[in-house]
Amino acid sequence: MARVYNFSAGPAMLPEPVLAQARDEMLDWQGSGMCVAEMSHRGKEFMSIAAQAEADLRELLQIPANYKVLFLQGGASSQFAMIPMNLLREGGSADYINTGSWSKKAIAEARRYGTVNVVASTEADKFTRAPAQDELKLTAGAAYVHYTPNETIEGVEFPYVPETNGVPLVADMSSTLLSRPIDVSRFGLIYAGAQKNIGPAGLTIVIVREDLIGQTLPGTPTMFDYKIHADNESMYNTPPTYAWYQAGLVFKWLKDMGGLEAMAAVNARKAKKLYDTIDASSFYQNPVDPPARSWMNVPFTLANAELDDTFIKEAKAQGLTTLKGHRSVGGMRASIYNAMPEAGVDALVAFMQDFERRQG
């Protein structure tokens, strides 16, 4: 068996010890005689798995007691609608920061529910930077401020947490949650699809300050009401049990790795190796303003786009897969989430340098 270094933006690699444990427990989870996927979500076995996963996530992120953690379905894309439905209030407005493709989707969806003010946009700069705090023209009385700390497609990351003067800050952390410590108390709501740093696709994590929920817009479907999920401990209906279980294994793995401080150090080092390689070369290029370069998603182009296919083919032959850039940006993109070993980045760097020597 030869596992590849998979640089996909998501679904992404999972830690090998997590997959191995899931394999070992596949037919019989801890003497239950069942696979976790076969368990009742209301049975004591799954309830213990669910509670442990939440406790470990709370510990890793130091989530304060006045925040609810919800284990939902529907992906981050459903959150683009659930957030205004739950936080906008009738006749209210919300501020959105536009830093890339995912911000734009969130903005378009929110506009279906009320007034959206785009309070800063880097579109004129082709989404190659993060706006500075003093560029944010925040609206007094906005229901919330939404931003995307890490734009997965453009590879742009905020190097700071915006100050919103008491207005709840809502963050799409799909491609950055768990990559480093954060101060959850700075946020009103954090959400993330699981398939990058958390676990398999099908699970969506929402961390929300409890005083913000319970005042949905009229007509909000029951399943889109955070309060319903919070009051039912994410078991109002059948939750994504197997993905929840594997996310729990990932949380345990993160604790074994030394927690989020330790992950941050590794992630910073992995990203630096790639950006240093790109910057040291006249063959590879990354357009993003250095302070806003993503630790998680590293897009780059080759000096000659006609070599793209050869690059991808040769990389794949060496076990370095899914490097093709997003269709809207072109070139390459290396996504290097928590589960990408540093050895995978080292192998990519060596391949890039060798390819440049031969083709550059």
8 A C-beta contact, residue 328 and residue 299: no
Determine if 198 is a binding residue for ligand PMP (CB under 6 A): no
What are the C-alpha distances in Å from 315 to residues 224, 308, 321, 343? 43, 11, 7, 15
Is 77 assigned to a binding site? yes
Q: What are phi and psi of 227, to 5 degrees?
A: -65, -40
8 A C-beta contact, residue 184 and residue 63: yes
Residues 95-134: x where in contact with ligand PMP by CB under 6 A, - otherwise, as a string? -------x--------------------------------
Q: 164 or 335, CB closer to ligand PMP?
A: 335
Among 152, 164, 216, 277, binds ligand PMP (CB under 6 A): 152
User: Would you call 300 helix, strand, or coil by DSSP?
Assistant: strand
User: Would you call 260 helix, strand, or coil by DSSP?
Assistant: helix
Q: 76 or 228, CB closer to ligand PMP?
A: 76
The answer to whether 183 is a known catalytic residue is: no
Selected catalytic residue, list 172, 225, 244, 252: 172
Among 8, 164, 174, 246, binds ligand PMP (CB under 6 A): 174
- Segment near ligand PMP (CB under 6 A), from 73-81, 209-217, 224-232, 235-243? 73-81
Determine if 5 is a binding residue for ligand PMP (CB under 6 A): no
Among 54, 56, 95, 172, binds ligand PMP (CB under 6 A): 172
Determine if 225 is a binding residue for ligand PMP (CB under 6 A): no
Angle, helices 241-256 vs 259-279, to 10°: value is 80
Give the alpha-carbon dihedral of 217, 222, 225, 228, to 10 degrees.
140
Enumerate residues 6+ apart whose C-beta is below 8 A from 358.
Answer: none
Q: Give the closest residue to 242 by CA, choosing from 12, 18, 16.
A: 18
Q: 189 or 352, CB closer to ligand PMP?
A: 189
Determine if 8 is a binding residue for ligand PMP (CB under 6 A): no
User: Active-site residue numbers?
Assistant: 102, 172, 196
Residues annotated in the binding site for L-glutamate, as ranges?
42
